[in-house]
């Protein structure tokens, strides 16, 4: 029973981490896209 509980806790923590990582990655890509658009718009 303890093993199952620890496994579930681990799985929950892992899914949270994955969601966090995915969100950060998506946010980074979004920022990158915006900066690229600005770069194109204003020229360099």
Total domains in the chain come to 1
Within-domain flag for 38: yes
Residue 21 covered by a domain? yes
Work out the pLDDT band at 44, boundaries 50, 70, 90: low
CA–CA gap between residue 5 and residue 12 (Å, rounded):
11
Name the CA dihedral angle for 27, 28, 33, 35, rounded to a multiple of 10 degrees.
Answer: 120
30: in domain:
yes
Structural domain includes residue 3: no
- Reported pTM: 0.55
In a domain, 19, yes or no: yes
- What pLDDT is attached to residue 25? 93
Q: Please indicate, yes or no, if residue 4 is contained in any of the structural domains.
A: no
Using one digit for the tens of pLDDT, what is the confidence trace for 3-33?
A: 999 999 999 999 999 999 999 999 989 888 8
Q: Which has more pLDDT, 32 or 40?
A: 32
Is the residue at 22 inside a domain? yes
Which pLDDT score is estimated for 8? 92
Residue 10 placed within a domain:
no
Q: Give the range of the structural domain holding residue 29, as residue numbers without chain letter.
A: 15-43
């Amino acid at each position: 029973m303890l093993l199952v509980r620890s496994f579930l806790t681990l799985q929950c923590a892992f899914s949270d981490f994955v969601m966090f990582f995915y969100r950060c990655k998506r946010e980074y890509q979004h920022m990158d896209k915006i900066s690229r658009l600005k770069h194109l718009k204003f020229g360099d």
